[in-house]
Amino acid sequence: MPGLVNFRPLGGVVVLFGIVRPCTHRLGDGLKAQWMAHLCGLCLALRGDHGQFARVVTNYDGLIISVLTEAQAPSSPGRRRTAGPCPLRGMRTASVARGEGARLAAAVSLVLASAKVRDHVVDGDGLLGRRPVAVAARRVARSWDKAGARTGSDVGFDTAVLLDAVERQAGVEALAGPGTSLLAVTEPTETATAAAFAHTAVLAGRPGNMEPLAEAGRLFGRLAHLLDAVEDREADAASGAWNPLTATGTSLTEARRLADDALHGIRLALRDAEFTDGKLAHVLLAHELRRSVDRAFGSESCGHEHTVTAHQGGGFGPPPSQQGGPYGSQNPYGGGDPYGGGNPYGGEVPPGGPQGPGGPGGPGGFGGGPAFEPQPPKPGKRGFWAGCAVAIGLCCTCKVCCADEYEGPWSRKKREGCCNNCDCDGGCCGICECCSCCDCGL
């Protein structure tokens, strides 16, 4: 999987930078393959048009542009190609998305990434506070602006609407204060995403979808801005950075209401659009976006994350009534000895006797029974630097996240990928617990 860069905004326009992060186990094999095809397609479109370095702007949400375009377009054999081995896919080949949808996603990602770089330069974040680094970063941002404009022009999309939104954002924030509507602050973001979503209908040859997809994009932009503000609220307060919730005096309750309204509006807009195959688009923009909102507000966690709870008395683990076996503290035989109080071996051969288990004549002993095989010595731990090298390899090949089993980089103990034990209930469509929650009919 490509390395994803989330350009965290500090009071800037927020679009398409990683709010939809689906658990691949919830997607199932079919939709997971499609999702990865679009993600890798975006990465390769950036490399093909703008060179290797441009791949750093690859992001989760940018691929939604590619997904929407393909979901509306008629099926054709040319919309996929086989990509060569990539270290980020564990040196495996893959079927990846190609075409105008991936290029539009690349153009949008480049322009918005350039805006984020300039935003960080203005705020003097980290190394960008040093003049030589800031100068180099501005040059990169300008080159990304031009590159995005070229690619956008090739697919008929004017990226000026994105740049205008970025420029207006600073003025909107300067005028915002207590009592200002939060939607006034999110408007530039909404305008930018609405334009990008609507253009997917143009590329797919479905002009009737422009209006509903523009509405879906507008609400998606609102959610992106809201969720980023919620997630950064405490950090911004500690650092003194500008935050739309704090500046306008908007409570978390009101922010959640606006987020829920946006989710409902996106689902209604998707119903009004016509798709050739809209299942992946629906899953990302309806179900996974709902999980993103829950995650930001702390109201739900992914199904494969297990929690440890403390019981009365300060202990951890199963409650006392369940300790000692599945029957708790009660004897399943009604409190009596199932052997009638006698020796289960009939009182003749004690367990540790010559013929009992573990005795010299019993199983595993030296009196004719099969001897137990000696256990091989456990591998020693790796040194610090060797472990670091292995850890980098595990991260680059996504084994830490997705592998069924991998060897710990330092301890060499067998571990499971963090998404391996996902206990998501596939439900009626393999995606969510019950698709009747939005009448999607899947």
Instruction: Tell whether 326 is covered by a domain.
Output: no
Phi/psi region, residue 353 (left: phi>0; alpha: psi -120 to 50; beta: rest), is beta
Q: Do 143 and 41 fall into the same domain?
A: yes
Shared domain for 61 and 187, answered yes or no, is yes
Residues 289 and 397 in one domain: no
Spatial distance between the Cα atoms of 38 and 44, rounded to a whole number of angstroms:
10
pLDDT tens-place string over residues 185-216:
999 999 999 999 999 999 999 999 999 999 99
Residue that is last in its domain, among 297, 331, 350: 297
Looking at the 3D structure of the chain, how many domains does it have? 2
The per-residue pLDDT for range 111-164, each reduced to its tens digit, is: 888 888 887 777 677 777 788 888 888 898 889 989 999 999 999 999 999 989
Give the whole-angstrom CA distance, residue 403 versus residue 381. Answer: 21
- 427 inside domain: no
pLDDT at 310 over 50: no
pLDDT for 316:
39
Name beta bridge partners: 97.
80
Alpha carbon distance 104, 63 (integer Å): 10
CA distances from 204 to 84, 208, 210, 395 (A): 27, 11, 10, 36
Amino acid 277 reads: D
Residue 19 has what pLDDT?
83
Q: What share of the chain is helix, strand, coil (3-state, %, to 5)?
A: 55, 5, 40
Shared domain for 269 and 404, answered yes or no, is: no
Q: Pick from 297, 318, 338: which residue ends a domain? A: 297
Q: What is the DSSP string of 398-413?
A: THHHH-S-EE-TTT--
Verify that 391 and 244 share a domain, yes or no. no
Residues composing the chain: 442
Question: Which helix (H) or strand (E) is 84 found in, with range?
Answer: strand 80-86
> Would 306 be classed as within a structural domain?
no
Same-domain check for residues 65 and 191? yes
Which residue has better confidence, 218 or 423? Answer: 218
Choose the final residue of a domain: 270, 297, 324.
Answer: 297
Q: How confident is the model at residue 347 (pLDDT cuts 50, 70, 90)?
A: very low
Highest mean pLDDT among 75-89, 103-117, 318-332, 397-411: 103-117
Give the CATH number for residue 34.
1.10.600.10
Domain-embedded: residue 157: yes
Q: Taking a C-beta distance cutoff of 8 angstroms, is the pair 178, 243 a contact?
A: no
Per-residue three-class SS string for 6-28: CCCCCCCCCCCCCCCCCCHHHHH
**Separation CA 195–CA 156 (nearest Å):** 12
In a domain, 312, yes or no: no
* DSSP-derived secondary structure for 146-192: HHHHHHHHHTT--THHHHHHHHHHHHHHHH--TT--HHHHHHHHHHH
* pLDDT 10s digits, 245-264: 999 999 999 999 999 999 99
- Residue 13 Cα distances to 16, 80, 117, 263, angstroms: 10, 32, 12, 20
Do 293 and 408 reside in the same domain of the chain?
no
Cβ distance 338 to 332 under 8 Å?
A: no
pLDDT in tens, 5-31: 344 333 334 333 478 888 777 888 889
Q: Does residue 304 lie in a domain region?
A: no
Angstrom distance (rounded) from CA 238 to CA 227: 18
Distances (CA, A) of 39 to 2, 212, 351: 8, 24, 61
- The whole domain housing 221 covers 29-297
Q: 99: Cβ–Cβ under 8 A, 6 or more apart, which residues?
A: 69, 70, 78, 79
43 within a domain of the structure (yes/no): yes
- Residue 180 and residue 40 share a domain: yes
- For residues 119 and 215, state if they share a domain: yes
Q: Is 339 among the domain residues?
A: no
Q: Is the pLDDT of residue 271 over 80?
A: yes
Is 94:40 a contact under the CB 8 Å cutoff?
yes
